[in-house]
Amino acid sequence: HPELDLSLPMLKYLISRPYEKWIGKPEVTGKGGKIREPGEPGMIEWFRTLEGFGNIGDDGIATLQDKLGQDFLSNANGNLEWLNDPDILPALEDSGVTLHDLVKQPFSLYFVLPQNKVGTHSGFLKLFVMMLLYELEGRGEGGGPPCLLMIDEAYSIGHINRLSQAASTVRKYATSIWTFWTNFAQMRKLMGDDEAQALLGVCGFVEVFGVDDIATNEFISRWIGDNPITGQRYISPSQLPGLVC
């Protein structure tokens, strides 16, 4: 519909519609091709044409129409459960700030979730981080001032797709990513061994404070190896291409 509001609340409303509304109802014909019951077009057919929702295309149509389609919509609906929070909807609807414009100028932005909301609203924070990374990469080289993205209590937020890859690719866009963890076991559990190692591998610095578990101590000992200290120098935050604490 040309007047459709392309917003997250609208997306939540659409994916919460009954599955039958999505796939539609085929027409039923009798002998001689006479239509016995008229069909109804599904939401899929017009939903994929909306540019604001990414044009899901033929592959997306096939996914929604097969037997996994209902599970797909149910999972998407669950991941957007935080949109039911009455405090979030007004903020999203009334905000005049866009990340697309924000990343092109100097700014400080604090995205804070209360501890009792981290479990239920982590999808909101993950979506924000992914959108921010997308905009930072999209601005191109020299398209904005240096950016420092700090993700505290990374384990509580949950797995963020392609974080380790982004930590490497955003360097060319004057962006550094710092993540903070309680211990190495958190990284391995959340990301898996390969992705955790990849994230550590692209970081320019790894800082460790007050380790009190054997696994992290052993890992850091192997990671550092034998390196004699030959001198000291001050490094500003803007000089750190990546940091894991």
Q: In terms of residues, how long is the chain?
A: 245
* Residue 150 three-state SS: strand
Global pTM reads 0.68
Q: pLDDT digits over 12-36, tens only?
A: 777 788 877 777 776 677 776 676 6
pLDDT band at 104 (very low <50, low <70, confident <90, very high): confident
The Cα–Cα gap between 191 and 58 comes to 31
For 38, the token pair is 């008229």
Neighbours of 218 (CB within 10 A): 12
Contact at 8 Å (CB) between 187 and 226?
no
What does the pLDDT read at residue 233? 62
For 243, the token pair is 């940091």
Identify the DSSP state of 141. T
Scored b (16 or more CB within 10 A) or e, 86-117 reads: eebeeeeeeeeeebeeebeeeeeeeeebeeeb
pLDDT band at 194 (very low <50, low <70, confident <90, very high): confident
User: In the predicted model, what is the mean pLDDT of the chain?
Assistant: 76
